[in-house]
Structure 1
Amino acid sequence: MVRNDLLLAIVVMAIWGFNFSMIKLGITEVNPLVATAARFTLAVIPAIFFIRRPNVAWRYLFAYGLVFGVGIWGMASWSITAGLSSGMSSVLLSSNALISMAAGVWLQKEHVSKRKIIGAVAALVALLILVSATNGNITPQGLMLIMIAATSWTIMGMIVKASKTTQAFAFNVWGMLFAPIPLVLFAMSIYGSNIIFEAIAAWDMKTTVAIVFQAYPTTLLGYWVWNRLLIRYPLSMTAPLTLLVPIFALISGYFMYDEVLSLAQVVACIMFLIGIGFIVKPASTRKSQQIQSSHS
C-alpha cells in the first residue's frame, strides 16, 4: 500500500475508533436512537443532492438503511447507555467477523481454513474471558444489544452482496436515507412521542459536536476513504486495518472517560483481536486456488 494511502487509512481507523467515545458524548443527555437518527439525517442532507442514486432496486436501499441505521448503530449506541463502555462496545462489535464466518458456513456452505477455525476458537475464548472478567464495563443488556449490532453487520453485508452494487459510496449514502425515520419511530414506540421533545430540550453543544463528528468525519469522510481503498487494494491488505478501530476506541475511552480494563480483559482483548485477525485476513491466492480445485 502506498504510504500516503496507508497514513490516510490509519487516520480513518483512528476516527472510527474515536467515534465510539463521541457516540457516548452524544447520548449522555439525548436518547441514543434519536441521536443516531440525527447523525444519519446530517450525513444524508445535503450529500444526497450531489450523489446520483445507485442503479439498484429501492428495496435494497431501504433494507440497508434499516439494518445499518437501526440494527447496527442504533443498537451500538443503545448498548453504551445500557452500561457497555465505549471501548468495549467497539471490541465486541468486531465479533461480526465471527458471526459472518458462521453464517457463511451454515448458509452458504463455505469452506473454512484451519487458520480461521483457530482464530474463531481464540476469539470465542477471549469473549468468554472478557465477559467473565468484567469490572463493570459490560452489562447483560449492553452485551445483548451489541451482539444484535454485530449480527446486523453480517446481514448488512448480505444485503450489499444481494444488491450487486458497484457504487459502494452512493449505495451507502442513499441507503442511509432510510435510517432516520425507522430510528425515530422505534424510539417513539418504546418511550412514547415525548421522547422527541425531551431530546430537543436536553440537546446541548456537546450533543451537537458529537453528532456532527459522527455524521461527517466518521460517516461521509470515513466511508468515502474506505471505499476508495477497497477499490485500489485487495481485501487481504485492507481488512486487517479495521483491527485498529477497537484499539483507538479503547485508548480514547481511557482518556475521555477513564474507562479501564482489568488485566484479564487486556489479555483477552489482545487474544480476541488476534483471533479476529486470523478470520478477516483472506487466504493467499495459491491457497484459494487449491481449495477451489479440491472442490471442483
Structure 2
Amino acid sequence: MNTKDIFLALLVVLIWGVNFSFIKVGLQELPPILFSALRFAVVALPAVLFIPFPKTSKWNVIGVGMFLGVFKFGLLFIAMKSDASAGLSSLILQAQVFFTIVLSVLFLKEHIAKVQIAGIGIAVIGFSFYMFNAGGNITVLGLMLILSAAFFWAIANVMMKRMQGVNLFHFIIWVSLIPPLPLLALSLLMETSNPVEVLLSTSMKTWGALAYVSYISTLLAFALWGALLKNYSAASVTPFALLIPVVGMLTSNIMLNESLETSEIVGALMIMSGLVICVLGKRLLALLVAPSLQKNLG
C-alpha cells in the first residue's frame, strides 16, 4: 500500500474507534433502539433516491439489513446504554472475527488453520475474564448482548462474502433503508410512545453525535474502506481493523474518562492477542517458524 492509502486506512480506524464514544454520548439522551433507527434513517434518506440499487439480490439487502442493522446494532446500542463502556464495547464486538471464521468453515467450506484455532482459544479465555469478573465497565448482560451482536455481524459478513462484484457503498446505503421501520416499531413498543417529544427535547450535542455516527462513521468510513478493499487484497487491508479497539479504548478514556480494572486489562490483552493470531498468525509463522512446522500448523 502506498503512503496515501495507509493514511486513509488509519483514518478509517480512527473514525470507527472514536465512533463508540460518540454512540455513548448519544445514548445519554436518546433511547438505544430509537437512536439506532435514526442512525440508519439518516444514512438511507435521501441517499436511496440518487444511489442505484446494488447488483445483488434484494434478499441479500434485506438479510444484511436485518442481521447487521436491526439485530447487531440494536443489541449493541442497548448494551452500551447502561451495561457496557464504550472502550470495552469496541473490543468485545471484535468477537465477530472469530464468529465469522467459524461460520465460514461451516457454511462456505473454508479451511481453518490450527493457528487460528489457537487464537480463538486464547480470546475465549480473555472473554471469560468479563464473564466471571463483571464490574463497573461491563455487566454479564452487557457481555452477552455484545457477543450476540458480534454473532449477528458475523452472519452478515458471511452473506456479504458470498456476493461478488457488489459496490459496497451502494450496498450499505440500501441496507440502511431496512432497519429504521422495524427498529422504530420496537422503540414504540419498548421505549417510548412519543418519539417526537423525545427528539424535540434532544440537545445539539446528541444531534452532533448522531451526525457523526451516521455520516462520518457509516457513509464516509465505509466508502473509504470499500475503496481500499477494491484496490488491495483483503489480507492487506483487514489487519488495520485490529487497531479499532485500541483507538476505541484510548478515546473513551480521553472523551468519557473511562478506565479499565486490572482484570479487564488482562482480558483485553488476551482478546487482542487472539485477534492478532487469527488475522496475522500465518504471516507471523512465516517470519518466526521453519517451513516444515508452518505446514503442520496451517
Change (3 A) 1:66 1:199: farther
State TM-score, norm by structure 1: 0.90
Question: In the aligned structure 2, how far is the partner of 1:103 from the partner of 1:57?
Answer: 21
Question: In the aligned structure 1, how far is the partner of 2:215 from the partner of 2:127?
Answer: 32
Q: 2:188 aligned with 1:188, yes or no?
A: yes
Task: State the match for 1:270 in structure 2.
Answer: 269
Question: In the aligned structure 1, how far is the partner of 2:258 from the partner of 2:131?
Answer: 16
Task: State the match for 1:172 in structure 2.
Answer: 172
Aligned residue runs from structure 1 range 125-140, under 5 A: 125-140=125-140
Question: In the aligned structure 1, how far is the partner of 2:161 from the partner of 2:111?
Answer: 18
Task: State the match for 2:296 in structure 1.
Answer: none
The C-alpha deviation readout for 1:112-162, integer Å capped at 9, x for no partner, is 212101111111111112333343111122112111210111111122234
- Name whichever of 122-131 and 3-12 sits farther off: 122-131
Aligned residue runs from structure 1 range 72-221, under 5 A: 72-191=72-191, 193-194=193-194, 196-221=195-220
Contact 1:30 1:202 in 2 (8 A): no
Task: State the match for 2:233 in structure 1.
Answer: 234
Shift of 1:75: 1.4
Aligned AA (2:74): G
Aligned AA (2:263): A
Task: State the match for 1:21 in structure 2.
Answer: 21
Contact 1:90 1:249 in 2 (8 A): yes
Change (3 A) 1:107 1:59: closer
Contact 1:236 1:282 in 2 (8 A): no
Task: State the match for 1:46 in structure 2.
Answer: 46
Runs of 4+ in 1 over 6 A off after TM superposition: none
- Name whichever of 250-259 and 46-55 sits farther off: 46-55
The C-alpha deviation readout for 1:20-44, integer Å capped at 9, x for no partner, is 0000111111111111111111112
Question: In the aligned structure 1, how far is the partner of 2:19 from the partner of 2:237?
Answer: 20
Question: In the aligned structure 1, how far is the partner of 2:130 from the partner of 2:140?
Answer: 12
Contact 2:134 2:140 in 1 (8 A): no
Shift of 1:52: 1.3
Aligned residues: 287
Question: In the aligned structure 2, how far is the partner of 1:105 from the partner of 1:151?
Answer: 15
The C-alpha deviation readout for 1:230-254, integer Å capped at 9, x for no partner, is 1111111111111111111101111
- Name whichever of 274-283 and 84-93 sits farther off: 274-283
Question: In the aligned structure 1, how far is the partner of 2:124 from the partner of 2:132?
Answer: 12
Question: In the aligned structure 1, how far is the partner of 2:212 from the partner of 2:105?
Answer: 37
Change (3 A) 1:105 1:60: closer
Question: In the aligned structure 2, how far is the partner of 1:139 from the partner of 1:184?
Answer: 26
Question: In the aligned structure 1, how far is the partner of 2:3 from the partner of 2:118?
Answer: 32
Question: Unaligned stretches of 5+ in structure 1?
Answer: 291-296
Question: In the aligned structure 1, how far is the partner of 2:198 from the partner of 2:243?
Answer: 33
- Name whichever of 57-66 and 249-258 sits farther off: 57-66
Question: In the aligned structure 2, how far is the partner of 1:197 from the partner of 1:213?
Answer: 21
Contact 1:87 1:251 in 2 (8 A): yes
State TM-score, norm by structure 2: 0.89
Change (3 A) 1:76 1:9: same
Question: In the aligned structure 1, how far is the partner of 2:165 from the partner of 2:181?
Answer: 24
Q: Could you say what secondary structure the match of 2:52 adopts? A: coil
Q: Could you say what secondary structure the match of 1:268 adopts? A: helix
Q: Could you say what secondary structure the match of 2:91 adopts? A: helix
Aligned AA (1:209): G
Shift of 1:267: 2.7
